[in-house]
Amino acid sequence: MRNVQPAAPAKREGRLAALDGLRLVAALLVVSYHYVGTARSDLWERPNNEIFTHLYGVAVYGSFGVQLFFIVSGFVICMSSWGRRLSDFLISRIVRLYPMYWVAVALTFTVVYLNRPTADDVHVIFRVHSLSDLLLNFTMAQEAFGVPHIDWVYWTLWAELKFYLLFAIVVALGVTYRRVLTFCALWMAAAVLFGSLNIPIVNTVVQPAYAPYFVAGILLYCVHRFGSTWLLWGMIAGCLLVAQHQLLVDVRWNSAYVGHSLKWVYAEFLVLAFFGCVAAVALGWTSWARWRWLTVAGALTYPLYLLHQDIGVIFIRSMQGEIAPWPLLAITVGGMLLLAYLSHRLVEVPFAPLMKKALRRSFDAVGRADGQREPKADPPVVDRSAGQRADVPDPDVVDLLGRAEQRV
């Protein structure tokens, strides 16, 4: 067996800090869409396109930041699950998603409830109609029961959760290159074959509209881990071709929502840029980006995404007439970033390790009761781009909407 020297810890050359930057870009695109790019004329004193003339033309495409989230998610979930047990995978997802989500649900509910007149004015509808609806929102699976999200941005978490459950099948079998490629091929085949049939239960599981993005992210991680092949790039190209067709539907829907006719070619260019940016990370072209602030940016992304919409919209509406639109927009975005930072420091940092430890003990107890032994992790592989060991990252700090802590 060939000996592989591990990377010097001080260099941290394998850190994919650029993923953190991409997360923040995606989040800010969505924020700009909700604050500036929608058609609502009651959020600001005048229509958005009159106040933010040039920014509006960009912000109307901000909703497509979700597609970037999904590509990065596929990349990171595949990366963080390699060589891990199913229990490790489940613990990492629970710890990463739920503590901050629970706080966001409670905080958003409280703010909207206390500001119901203002919320009604800006169509931030007080959506939950019973205590049962509120409690079900804490599961993140409320959409499965037809219960409205307390904040509509949570719909993407349901899409993410379904992706995790699908990929958990691969993790349970053991993540290997062959199994990952088989999973990607089968998922895309199902998305293509069943996408036009409009069978609700199938669409719920297969997610034809978003499968190309998750799968592309997985395949791009395979490029990063194993190097480029015609097979990988051919499958990625197939994902892009399917995705661009789905964009026709997305553009029509968003055009109706924002009250402005969006151009498919602009949306296509944006999604193509998303593919290109993550591909650049996969190929190691962004290895020079190691700034510490990118890690902070990645840490803010998840709480920013969860908290920005209803709370931010209510704040903007309540300050109308007191502050001019441009300064108010800057204050709102800055305030949401500060709230995201405080939430990360006060919720995620202290509680995630405690939750992880408690869940680890629980899963270990199940294993001991069944007489199972802990399987060994897969051996490291060589990162061909750097000629060094590629360690498996801690899944608790590597996530679509969190920090990236990877080493080569």
CA dist 401 and 157 (Å) reads 10
What tokens does 285 get? 């072209």
Q: Please give the Cα distance from 283 to 279 (Å, whole number).
A: 6
> Global pTM?
0.85
Distance CA 172, CA 24 (A): 31
Nearest to 172 by CA among 183, 161, 185: 183
Q: Tell me whether residue 76 is exposed, middle or buried, using C-beta atoms within 10 angstroms of its C-beta: 0 to 12, 13 to 18, 19 or more.
A: buried
The answer for residues whose C-beta is within 8 angstroms of residue 366's C-beta and 6 or more apart is: none
Tokens of 361: 């003990």
Q: How confident is the model at residue 280 (pLDDT cuts 50, 70, 90)?
A: very high
In the chain, what are the domain boundaries?
17-369+385-390
CA distance 127 to 153: 13
Distance CA 273, CA 61 (A): 13
The angle at the Cα of 66, spanning 37 to 121, to the nearest 5 degrees, equals 40
pLDDT at site 145: 92
Residue 245, class by beta-carbon neighbours within 10 Å (0-12 exposed, 13-18 middle, 19+ buried)?
Answer: exposed
| Residue 130 DSSP symbol | S
Coil vs helix vs strand at 375:
coil
Average pLDDT on 350-378 reads 80
pLDDT band at 5 (very low <50, low <70, confident <90, very high): very low
Q: Count CB-CB contacts under 10 A for residue 181.
A: 16
Out of 49-53, 132-136, 368-372, pick the least confident.
368-372
Residue 397 has pLDDT above 50, yes or no: no
Amino acid at 227: G
Residues 6+ apart with CB under 8 A from 16: 281, 286, 404, 406
Reported as type and span, the H/E element at residue 78 is helix 65-81
- The token pair that represents 217 in the structure block: 């992210």
Kind and range of the H or E run holding 383 = strand 381-383
Residue 282 has pLDDT above 70, yes or no: yes
In this predicted model, what pLDDT tens digit does every residue of 7-35 receive, in sequence order?
A: 333 333 345 889 999 999 999 999 999 99
What is the percent of the chain with per-residue pLDDT over 90, rounded to a whole number? 60
Report the pLDDT averaged over residues 339-363.
Answer: 94
The pLDDT tens digits for 244-262 are 988 988 898 888 777 778 8
The mean pLDDT of 45-65, rounded to a whole number, is 88
* 200/82 Cα distance (integer angstroms): 32
Those residues with Cβ within 8 angstroms of residue 271's Cβ, 6 or more apart along the chain or in another chain? 64, 67, 240, 243, 244, 247
Backbone dihedral angles phi then psi of residue 114, each to the nearest 5 degrees: -75, -15
- Among 71, 77, 68, CA closest to 167: 77
Q: What is the mean pLDDT of the chain?
A: 84
Single out the residue of 401, 399, 305, 393 nearest to residue 77, CA to CA. 399
Please list the residues that pair with 389 across neighbouring strands: 382
Condensed to tens digits (0 to 9), the pLDDT of residues 131-171 reads 899 999 999 999 999 899 999 899 999 999 999 999 999 99
Cα dihedral 5, 7, 13, 16 in deg (nearest 10): 90
